[in-house]
């Protein structure tokens, strides 16, 4: 986002406050500064020449989930997510990224083998170090979520990633074959989700060379790394021309919405838009007509956690509910709490762990109160955070990806 685009977006903001009504952090903290309107005001005065201490600015803009709810609700279509990501980039350019975020981004964008070695070594070192620190220490709010700490859930990493096992070196000429974008967390941490996902995508090819969608870098203000990830993915997937299915809502949002913004006005704009037009949510392969609810998890009550980044795709959400109603009938528990943000927010979980944890634990407690046995969702970050929240809270609520439940109901065709 260049300065002209920033000024245009600031001008479009009517300060109407509709963003306040949908902001999870305003609801949580009851502060104007927590919401989009407060942050837009600060960007406005920054553009007018007023400066702030870098540390204060960093904390101020880090206190945002970048969930995009404000952008969806805005009647004037102010691109708040881009504005706040650009603000973080401006701050990072002045003072650099904090150590925790640098480590998080290095891990998320490292190639397969390097990622696996780094993550496993990091976990071993972290355990030895953190076991000596009291769980109430403030240090636990200042470390990345992939490191073990008081109450944090550290999933056991598989020996090989999904792409190490199943990835295919994509050559030109695959034509219209469907492709699979795995996402970092599902690829390296929860590959079983992808194993189930490909059951719905006959002939789908997971390109081995693909990399992180770039959202962690974009959200942290590391635009150079975000551009690099985007360029690589566009280049790799351009070797085919078929649809690109995405099982993670946050990756879906990034590939469909963020990439065209990143390259707006550049020589890659057309290529980025053509790439984004091929992006489809995995949910589109889960058509209700292909499944039967007979005998699916008998006696189990389920709920659907709507990821924030799925709000831009209302037809997808509607389709998910149609499918779950077909499969589970009155065992599908619905309510306004379905839409409550879990509080993860990627790098928000690093910089604002206390708030992030509170929001996740509340979501789990509400599910338990409603008698929910399994929470289904389609975002890798939400899955990890809700599992961690359930483990910390002690409630016997499981968290699964949609694809992990639906295969058992498949009707042979």
- The helix (run of H) or strand (run of E) holding residue 79 is none
| Domain finish residue from 284, 306, 325 | 284
Check residue 10 and give its pLDDT.
96
Q: In whole angstroms, give the CA distance from residue 14 to residue 108.
A: 37
123: exposed, middle or buried (C-beta count within 10 Å: 0-12, 13-18, 19+)?
middle
Query: 3-class SS at 106?
Result: helix
Instruction: Indicate if 28 and 165 belong to the same structural domain.
Output: no
Instruction: Indicate if 215 and 345 belong to the same structural domain.
Output: no
Query: 3-class SS at 335?
Result: coil
> With contact defined as beta carbons under 8 Å apart, do 70 and 36 qualify?
yes
Q: In whole angstroms, give the CA distance from residue 28 to residue 23.
A: 9
> With contact defined as beta carbons under 8 Å apart, do 304 and 320 qualify?
yes
H, E, C per residue of 152-210 = CCCCCCCCCCHHHHHCECCCCCCCCCCEECCCHHHHHCCHHHHHHHHHHCCCCECECCC
Check residue 153 and give its pLDDT.
64
The residues pairing with 302 across neighbouring beta strands, listed in sequence order, are 332, 374
Note down pLDDT in tens along the chain; length 413 residues. Answer: 888 999 999 999 999 999 999 999 999 999 999 999 999 999 999 888 877 876 788 899 999 999 999 999 999 999 999 999 999 998 888 776 665 555 555 555 555 555 555 555 555 544 444 444 334 333 333 344 444 445 566 677 787 899 999 999 987 667 788 999 999 999 988 999 999 898 888 889 999 999 999 999 999 899 999 999 999 999 999 999 999 999 999 999 999 999 999 999 999 999 999 999 999 999 988 865 555 555 567 889 999 999 999 998 999 999 999 999 988 999 999 988 899 999 999 889 888 999 999 999 999 999 999 999 999 999 999 999 999 999 999 999 999 999 988 754 444 44
75: exposed, middle or buried (C-beta count within 10 Å: 0-12, 13-18, 19+)?
exposed
For residue 350, being part of any structural domain is answered with yes
The alpha carbon of residue 6 and the mean position of all alpha carbons in its chain are separated, in whole angstroms, by 24
Residues 6+ apart with CB under 8 A from 181: 210, 213, 233, 237, 244, 245, 246, 251, 255, 279
- The helix (run of H) or strand (run of E) holding residue 238 is none
Tell me 331's DSSP state.
Answer: G
| Residue for token pair 């553009």 | 47
Neighbours of 141 (CB within 10 A): 15
Instruction: Indicate if 274 and 303 belong to the same structural domain.
Output: no
Instruction: Indicate if 72 and 206 belong to the same structural domain.
Output: no
For residue 100, being part of any structural domain is answered with no
Check residue 107 and give its pLDDT.
55
| Residue for token pair 């963020």 | 258
Check residue 411 and give its pLDDT.
47
Instruction: Indicate if 222 and 304 belong to the same structural domain.
Output: no
What is the distance between the terminal CA atoms of the chain, rounded to a whole angstrom?
48
Model's pTM, two decimal places?
0.86
Instruction: Indicate if 117 and 257 belong to the same structural domain.
Output: yes
Instruction: Indicate if 244 and 269 belong to the same structural domain.
Output: yes
Instruction: Indicate if 255 and 331 belong to the same structural domain.
Output: no
Check residue 176 and give its pLDDT.
84
Instruction: Indicate if 280 and 292 belong to the same structural domain.
Output: no
> With contact defined as beta carbons under 8 Å apart, do 263 and 295 qualify?
no
Q: In whole angstroms, give the CA distance from residue 256 to residue 222.
A: 19
The CATH number of whichever domain residue 368 belongs to comes to 3.40.50.1860
Instruction: Indicate if 233 and 175 belong to the same structural domain.
Output: yes
Neighbours of 385 (CB within 10 A): 26
The domain total for the chain is: 3
| Domain finish residue from 225, 259, 284 | 284
Residues 6+ apart with CB under 8 A from 154: 123, 146, 147, 148
Instruction: Tell whether the torsion through CA atoms of 190, 194, 197 and 199 is positive or negative.
Output: negative
Instruction: Indicate if 154 and 77 belong to the same structural domain.
Output: no
| Domain finish residue from 46, 67, 95 | 95
| Residue for token pair 């065209």 | 260
H, E, C per residue of 247-303 = CCHHHHHHHHHHHHHHCCCCCCHHHHHHHHHCEEEHHHHCCHHHECCCCCCCCCCEE
The CATH number of whichever domain residue 210 belongs to comes to 1.20.1050
For residue 101, being part of any structural domain is answered with no
For residue 175, being part of any structural domain is answered with yes
Tokens of 204: 């789908």
Instruction: Indicate if 308 and 404 belong to the same structural domain.
Output: yes
Residues 6+ apart with CB under 8 A from 336: none
Q: In whole angstroms, give the CA distance from residue 274 to residue 255.
A: 11
Structural domain including 368 reads: 288-409
């Amino acid at each position: 986002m260049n300065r002209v685009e920033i000024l245009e977006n600031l001008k479009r903001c009517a300060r109407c406050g509709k963003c306040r009504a949908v902001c999870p952090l305003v609801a949580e903290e009851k502060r104007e500064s927590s919401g989009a309107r407060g942050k837009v005001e600060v960007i406005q005065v920054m553009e007018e020449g007023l400066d702030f201490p870098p540390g204060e600015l960093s904390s101020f803009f880090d206190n945002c989930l970048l969930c995009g709810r404000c952008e969806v609700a805005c009647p004037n279509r102010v691109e708040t997510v881009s504005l706040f990501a650009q603000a973080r980039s401006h701050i990072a350019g002045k003072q650099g990224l904090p150590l925790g975020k640098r480590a998080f981004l290095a891990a998320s964008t490292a190639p397969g083998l390097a990622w696996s070695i780094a993550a496993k070594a990091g976990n071993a070192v972290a355990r030895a170090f953190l076991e000596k620190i009291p769980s109430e220490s403030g240090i636990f709010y200042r470390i990345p979520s992939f490191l073990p700490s008081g109450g944090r859930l550290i999933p056991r990493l598989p020996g090989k990633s999904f792409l190490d096992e199943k990835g295919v070196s994509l050559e030109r000429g695959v034509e219209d074959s469907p492709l699979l974008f795995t996402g970092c967390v599902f690829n390296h941490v929860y590959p079983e989700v992808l194993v189930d996902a490909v059951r719905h995508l006959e002939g789908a090819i997971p390109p081995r060379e693909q990399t992180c969608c770039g959202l962690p870098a974009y959200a942290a203000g590391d635009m150079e790394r975000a551009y690099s990830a985007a360029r690589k993915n566009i280049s790799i997937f351009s070797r085919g021309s078929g649809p690109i299915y995405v099982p993670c809502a946050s990756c879906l949002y990034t590939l469909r919405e963020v990439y065209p913004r990143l390259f707006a006005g550049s020589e890659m704009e057309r290529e980025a838009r053509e790439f984004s037009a091929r992006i489809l949510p995995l949910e589109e392969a889960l058509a209700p007509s292909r499944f039967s609810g007979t005998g699916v998890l008998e006696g189990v009550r389920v709920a659907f956690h709507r990821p924030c980044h799925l709000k831009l795709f209302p037809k997808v959400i509607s389709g998910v509910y149609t499918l779950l109603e077909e499969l589970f009938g009155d065992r599908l528990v619905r309510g306004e709490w379905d839409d409550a943000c879990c509080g993860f927010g990627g790098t928000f979980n690093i910089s604002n762990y206390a708030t992030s944890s509170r929001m996740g634990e509340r979501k789990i407690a509400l599910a338990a109160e409603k008698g929910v046995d399994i929470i289904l969702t389609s975002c890798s970050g939400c899955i990890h955070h809700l599992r961690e929240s359930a483990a910390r809270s002690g409630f016997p609520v499981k968290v699964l990806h949609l694809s992990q439940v639906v295969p058992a109901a498949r009707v042979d065709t």
